[in-house]
Amino acid sequence: MKTLAYVRVSTEEQARHGVSLDAQEEQARRYCELHGLELDEVLRDEGQSGKNMDRPAMRVLLDRVSRGAVKAVVVYRLDRVSRSTMDALRFADTLRAAGVAFHSVCERLDTQTADGGFMFTLQAAQAERERKLVSERTRAALAHKKTRGEWLGRPPFGYRVEDKRLVEDDQELSLIAKAKRLRRAGHSIRAIAKRLAMPKSTAHLILRTHGRTRKSRYTAA
């Protein structure tokens, strides 16, 4: 039976907090050395949200627990397991039923005791609260930018962003016009892409959805 470490990070978290997968793994290894645990393997989920449990490495972990191949699980922090209170509690119940010890580097949690189980629930609820607060702030910030007429995200082909505003790109709009003329003349998308020196996917996109349409939809919203 093995001692496994589980580490997870989403792109946003990695940029914001700097708690990279390697940093989490190093902390887990130090924890194991300090507490006399022999770490056999580290399971890594990179760029995976904590809002649900459907992640490649987490699926591997749960499968091994269900097969009785794990004796202990080590994480850097409880919210690496999940940012959903219910999912975290189900995870704890799964480990407890299988007789698997749970260790968190940042929190001292013993889910085998009443007080430990209570603290686990509080920590899980806090992780979910933080996830929801971040989501709320992000939506509010995006809504504010939109009311100010600021463009959000990547501009459509035929436009560029200047001073946070969407402005026409004459060179790209000229390519759109040429592509449409060639299409009306009966040329295939492949031939149009080759003639205009652009990827086939780009030619297909600009012929299917005009940038002006996307801009008008954004402005109307």
46 class by beta-carbon count within 10 Å (0-12 exposed, 13-18 middle, 19+ buried): middle
Active site (annotated) includes residue 104:
no
> CA of 156: how far to CAs of 142, 182, 202, in Å?
18, 21, 11
8 A C-beta contact, residue 72 and residue 103: yes
Report the run of H or E that residue 141 belongs to, with start and end.
helix 114-147
From 10, 104, 188, 216, the catalytic residue: 10
* Placement of tokens 């899980």 in the chain: 124
8 A C-beta contact, residue 200 and residue 192: no
Tell me which DSSP letter residue 102 carries. E
Point out the residues that are catalytic.
Answer: 10
